[in-house]
Structure 1
Amino acid sequence: MLTLLHLLSSIALLVWGTHIVRTGIMRVYGSHLRRLLGHSMANAPMAFTAGIGVTALVQSSNATALLAISFVAQGLMALPTALAIMLGADVGTALMARVLTLDLSWLSPLFTLVGVSLFLSRKQTRAGQLGRVLIGLGLIILALQLIVAAAEPITEARGMRVLFSSLAGDTLLAVVVGALFAVLSYSSLAAVLLTATLASAGLISLPVALGVVIGANVGSGVLAWLNATPQPVPARRVALGNLLYKLAGLVVLPFLPMAVEWMATLGFSAQTQVIAFHLAYNSLRCLVLLPTVGLMARLCERVLTERPLDNGIAQPRHLDPTALDTPSLALANATRETLRIGDLVETMLVHLLEALREDRPEPGEDIRRLDDDVDALYSGVKLYLARMPREDLTEQESRRWAEIIELAINLEQAGDIIEHMLGKVQNLKISKRRSFSDSGLDELGQLHSLLSANLSLGLSVFLSGDSHSARQLLQQKRQFRKRERELAHAHVHRLHQQVVESIETSAAHLELIADMKRLNSLFCSAAYPALEGSGSGKPRVSGESQAVREARIKQQLPPGKPA
């Protein structure tokens, strides 16, 4: 029992090592790898080569599949190009399997020592993440050694020999076992490395090992399909084509006995034979199938037809889940989606002005629909940011994370305020059948114009972080407050003059001005993070109130220009 536990723990260490390498590479070079794939859309051979290179670095064809699927889902890559990348990913996995089975035992302690030193001393830097990669490589090499050591006593057990010998007469069963292990370990590379190690220890025969290797390839295709299931139809087509290409490799099963007989005459070790077969099998299969990517793309498009689905609610466009392993990319995606929320709020302001000046029901319907869109996108951004590993973010990335979520919250609140303002306007015009005076409408229009300008400038400051624009935004916030007080006094003066329309709409008029003041504060809040970053450089204290932040920022403004 203890021996079996050692074997299982060694397998777990192998899987964990491949996971650490993949995530470390993605966090350091994720943006560069995406750029490499994005620039490989000219032709299939170039995409095929890019797939080999990216997979060799991240040591996971599943990670490459997620990248290709996300590109197709966002409309940034054609389906044939993505299929060519997936074929290259299979060859990249085979190449890395060959490298990792070389006699690299002396590298394990070296990689682990250097990796731990870098990771602990510079955890939040690029060097620290490279240390993470070295730790993963050291664990992979160590795990392979432990598997060999743990498998030796198991091979002497008669019961285990009988169990594994039962696979020898059924190649399809060996394929199924390989596919299941690849799915459970979330890595076809780990499955192939384990198979080669067990074959070297004599625990499984060569025919069984080759069947398991073929099954591991099929398992990686099943993994990609499972990952693409929640994605849109174009993304699922990539996974379907990849799976069909994997299944096409099953045509070699009838020829396995001849291949085993020929390989036995070469005199190589069982481990070398398994790894060489894996490399030759994937290389030949992918090179033969590469010219068919166009045909496979058309087949997938016919099998998975895209049905138009429009429930009237906007869906996030930029929140790519595969970018979560690369914090800089994930934050950039969240920024783009938050700016999209800002555009929706800006459109709601335009329709609010129409509702003030006109009696048509259409502006109100548009505002309610847009508020639903704002709520949906806000939920998407919030959940996307919640999935990011905060402990792996640098200080600057953590600050940006907080800025994004704060602006998203403010914009969502702004959408609710605008919809609430619409209710007041419609209640006044429809239920009470009253209208604003010409002067009142003009005053509300002036504030609306200032409000729209501050929203646009606030979004610009959020995107650029420019301190000069941030100071300008706070100056405009002061001007808005001054103008708001002047117009409130002007309204009271009209009440003194007994203007009938002003008297009938007084409560609604003053409430709308107060709501605009709240909106202005929400829009101008983007100035404070920009000025804090350009000021003392001290990070913002979590939970700090808006008033305290404003007080600290006022100390940085020029004399005579309060916020």
Structure 2
Amino acid sequence: MTATLIDFAGFVALLLWGTHMVQTGVQRAAGARLKLWLGHALRGRLSAFAAGIGVTALLQSSTATGLMVTGFAATGLLALVPALAVMLGANVGTTLIVQLLAFDVQLAAPLLVLIGVVVFRRLERGRLHDLGRVAIGLGLMLLALDHLSGSLAPLADSQAVRTLIGLLQAAPVAAVMLAAALTWMAHSSVAVVLLVMSMAGQGLVAGPMAIALVLGANLGTAINPVLEGAGGDDPQARRLPLGNLINRVIGVVAALILIEPVAGAMGRLVEDPVRMVAVFHTLFNLTVAAVFLPVLRHYAGLLARLLPVRAVPADPARTLYLDEEARETPEVALGLATREVLRMADVLDDMLAGARAALRSGEPGPIAALKGLDDVLDHVNRALKTYLAGIEPARLGPADERRLTDLLAFATRLEQAGDAVDRGLLPTLGKCHKRGVRLSKEGQGELLRLLDRLRDNLAQAAALLMTRDLRAARLLAAEKAVFRRLETEATLAHFRRLRSGRPETALTSAQHLDLLRDIKLINSQIVAAAAYPVLNRAGELLASRVAGEETDEDENEGETVRTEPSPPRR
């Protein structure tokens, strides 16, 4: 008996692992595309229902589909009615693989594993590599089902097992709870239903007992998202998982009340006990969908009243585009990370615009409005590092690795530039206000022109992050020399005003020079963020940074930059 139980547990684990390989393989091969297609298909109840069936039939996980749809619903991109329709379709979609495996397809198992291993090993990355993983998973599932039947045969003769099953036969509610618990632990209703099919094939369960176990599997797969905190603390985000659980519970309770006549009808409809389990699993989900689809609008309204929208102040530090599921497809994940980095550039531009407004007006109001923006840059930069570090290295091609490195470097430079604004520009302007002094008109004009040029360079750097154009990189790199020249000219002009004995120049001399230094430093960070990676790959970045006939060394970073004519700026 001990050896039999070990065999049984091992083949159940193999079944779960095969299911996991199918799910992850499909998600990696087409997860992002499925998500995009699912987003376009959610137009009405029937199309959303069909989309849920199709996506889940491929993923073999209603939980994975539910996570996609919950993400749409939580961000307000999807209304609750089509989201609920998708989940009804997802519950039907999980039954399709069960229907397929109910037939005698065991001979395909070795062939699937053979093909899958050859493709998986021959191709180190790419869609075919992931599809090889899917084939291996399907083959392992078939092998596990075949061996499960053999390992269950000795259990059918065990008096202890028959006594336990007899107790459950007399208490169908306990059987439902047991199957729900197993499904929750396994995170797969497909695996549990396939296990029930194997037990039915060996005569261990039949009739009401088999139906009760299938009902428990359907209940358990809806419990997972609710117990594991899908939607977090936001009541609105919990509507979908809770709504899916409620319609499962209603269906299970109704089926339990009618379990005897239902078992009798299924026995007459399908004589093979294995096929009977698969057919009932499908009919149950189709029936629940048929009952709830016509009343989804009213059902969604009830859920909205039970879980009203919670008023939460907007958090600017929250990332907007980083999707955890997209990390399975690196090209999509890098695109989303790029959007987040560009948002960082917008935040830095807001800080520079606020500093310019404070410089122009001499009032503290614009400075106060910028409080916390540097924290936004810090938070998003940390989130980006965590997100990009979570992408599996084996799935990154050489171009992807370069892009990832560029994004990390760009985000880090922007965060450092934000520190220079927050700890340099803004406090210096604040000192002028506290002392009740203002920069000279000439000095103010010089600084305003530099800030305008700095914002132009930031916009150019953001565009260069997308285009990676070599000519644009050269022009941006030349801005270091331009800023050095403009800083020198502004400093000399300041000293001339100082020698002429102008009082406002003497009172704000230190602040004026500090502002010039900080603006030049911020420009250096912006140039290094976008231009240097492009120039480096073109072979134009030497040990002293940029190769060229004329160079200009930045004393802050030890960099030498080619000086080229820059277009005039207004």
- 1:520 aligned residue: 523
- 1:394 aligned residue: 397
**What is the distance in 1 between the residues matched to 2:210 and 2:533?**
58
- 1:215 aligned residue: 216
Is structure 2 residue 427 aligned with structure 1 residue 424? Answer: yes
1:475 shift after superposition: 2.9
Structure 2-normalised TM-score?
0.90
Q: 1:561 to 1:142 in 2, by over 3 A?
A: farther
The worse-fitting range, judged by mean Cα deviation, of 212-221 and 151-160 is 151-160
Q: Residue by residue, what CA displacement relative to the aligned partner does 1:335-393 show, whole Å, maximum 9, x if unpaired?
A: 22222221111101100112222232221212223223333333333333333333333
The worse-fitting range, judged by mean Cα deviation, of 280-289 and 520-529 is 520-529
Contact 2:425–2:518, Cα closer than 8 Å, also in 1: no
Letter in 1 for 2:13: A
Letter in 2 for 1:235: A
Paired residue secondary structure (1:526): helix
- 1:450 aligned residue: 453
Contact 1:424–1:508, Cα closer than 8 Å, also in 2: no
- 1:245 aligned residue: 247
The worse-fitting range, judged by mean Cα deviation, of 506-515 and 244-253 is 506-515
Q: Residue by residue, what CA displacement relative to the aligned partner does 1:79-107 show, whole Å, maximum 9, x if unpaired?
A: 11111111111111111211133222222
Q: 1:79 to 1:290 in 2, by over 3 A?
A: same
Specify which of 545, 551, 557 is matched with residue 550 of structure 1. Answer: 545
Is structure 2 residue 164 aligned with structure 1 residue 169? Answer: no
- 2:329 aligned residue: 326
Contact 1:20–1:133, Cα closer than 8 Å, also in 2: yes
- 1:44 aligned residue: 45
- 1:403 aligned residue: 406
Identity %: 36
Is structure 2 residue 549 aligned with structure 1 residue 529? Answer: no
**What is the distance in 1 between the residues matched to 2:275 and 2:539?**
60
Is structure 2 residue 350 aligned with structure 1 residue 347? Answer: yes
Paired residue secondary structure (2:177): helix
1:406 shift after superposition: 2.2
**What is the distance in 1 between the residues matched to 2:364 and 2:562?**
48
**What is the distance in 2 between the residues matched to 1:421 and 1:395?**
38
- 2:557 aligned residue: none
Q: 1:267 to 1:278 in 2, by over 3 A?
A: closer
1:453 shift after superposition: 0.7
Contact 2:428–2:514, Cα closer than 8 Å, also in 1: no
**What is the distance in 1 between the residues matched to 2:547 and 2:139?**
49
**What is the distance in 2 between the residues matched to 1:97 and 1:240?**
25
Q: 1:298 to 1:419 in 2, by over 3 A?
A: same
Paired residue secondary structure (1:228): coil
Q: 1:157 to 1:187 in 2, by over 3 A?
A: same
**Aligned ranges for residues 234-383 of structure 1 at < 5 Å?**
234-250=236-252, 251-266=254-269, 268-310=271-313, 313-383=316-386
Contact 2:101–2:142, Cα closer than 8 Å, also in 1: yes
**What is the distance in 2 between the residues matched to 1:112 and 1:561?**
61
Paired residue secondary structure (1:495): helix
Paired residue secondary structure (2:211): helix
1:252 shift after superposition: 1.3
Contact 1:61–1:89, Cα closer than 8 Å, also in 2: yes
Contact 1:21–1:136, Cα closer than 8 Å, also in 2: yes
**What is the distance in 2 between the residues matched to 1:410 and 1:62?**
39
Contact 1:478–1:562, Cα closer than 8 Å, also in 2: no
Paired residue secondary structure (2:41): coil
**Aligned ranges for residues 108-123 of structure 1 at < 5 Å?**
108-123=109-124
Aligned length: 553
1:165 shift after superposition: 2.6
Contact 2:189–2:218, Cα closer than 8 Å, also in 1: yes
- 2:464 aligned residue: 461
**What is the distance in 2 between the residues matched to 1:173 and 1:189?**
20
**What is the distance in 1 between the residues matched to 2:46 and 2:346?**
41
Is structure 2 residue 82 aligned with structure 1 residue 81? Answer: yes
Q: Residue by residue, what CA displacement relative to the aligned partner does 1:378-430 show, whole Å, maximum 9, x if unpaired?
A: 33333333333333333322322222222222222222211112453245314
Where does structure 2 lack aligned partners over 5 or more consecutive residues?
A: 551-559
Q: Residue by residue, what CA displacement relative to the aligned partner does 1:266-307 show, whole Å, maximum 9, x if unpaired?
A: 563321111111011111221222112211211111111112
Contact 2:425–2:515, Cα closer than 8 Å, also in 1: no
**What is the distance in 2 between the residues matched to 1:142 and 1:97?**
15
Where does structure 1 lack aligned partners over 5 or more consecutive residues?
A: 538-545
Letter in 2 for 1:24: G
Paired residue secondary structure (1:368): coil
1:551 shift after superposition: 4.4
**What is the distance in 2 between the residues matched to 1:416 and 1:40?**
44
The worse-fitting range, judged by mean Cα deviation, of 450-459 and 506-515 is 506-515
Paired residue secondary structure (2:371): helix
**What is the distance in 2 between the residues matched to 1:145 and 1:193?**
11
**What is the distance in 2 between the residues matched to 1:391 and 1:94?**
33
The worse-fitting range, judged by mean Cα deviation, of 391-400 and 49-58 is 391-400
Contact 1:10–1:147, Cα closer than 8 Å, also in 2: yes
- 1:542 aligned residue: none
**What is the distance in 2 between the residues matched to 1:306 and 1:547?**
57
**What is the distance in 2 between the residues matched to 1:552 and 1:235?**
54
Contact 1:339–1:459, Cα closer than 8 Å, also in 2: yes
Q: 1:169 to 1:341 in 2, by over 3 A?
A: same
**Aligned ranges for residues 469-548 of structure 1 at < 5 Å?**
469-524=472-527, 525-532=529-536, 535=538, 548=543
Contact 2:126–2:395, Cα closer than 8 Å, also in 1: no
1:455 shift after superposition: 0.8
**What is the distance in 2 between the residues matched to 1:552 and 1:53?**
56
Q: Residue by residue, what CA displacement relative to the aligned partner does 1:223-255 show, whole Å, maximum 9, x if unpaired?
A: 232352327444322212211221121211111
**What is the distance in 2 between the residues matched to 1:490 and 1:76?**
55
Letter in 2 for 1:82: A
**What is the distance in 2 between the residues matched to 1:559 and 1:78?**
55
**What is the distance in 2 between the residues matched to 1:8 and 1:451?**
66
1:217 shift after superposition: 1.2
1:50 shift after superposition: 0.9
1:114 shift after superposition: 1.8
Q: Residue by residue, what CA displacement relative to the aligned partner does 1:164-216 show, whole Å, maximum 9, x if unpaired?
A: 33211111111111211111111111121122122222333432221121111
State the Cα RMSD in Å. Answer: 2.7
The worse-fitting range, judged by mean Cα deviation, of 401-410 and 181-190 is 401-410
1:532 shift after superposition: 5.0
Is structure 2 residue 189 aligned with structure 1 residue 194? Answer: no
Specify which of 207, 228, 231 is matched with residue 229 of structure 1. Answer: 231
1:549 shift after superposition: 9.0
Letter in 2 for 1:107: A
Q: 1:277 to 1:484 in 2, by over 3 A?
A: same
The worse-fitting range, judged by mean Cα deviation, of 172-181 and 546-555 is 546-555
**What is the distance in 2 between the residues matched to 1:112 and 1:468?**
51
Contact 1:83–1:238, Cα closer than 8 Å, also in 2: yes
Letter in 1 for 2:337: A
Letter in 1 for 2:185: L
1:141 shift after superposition: 1.5
- 1:58 aligned residue: 59
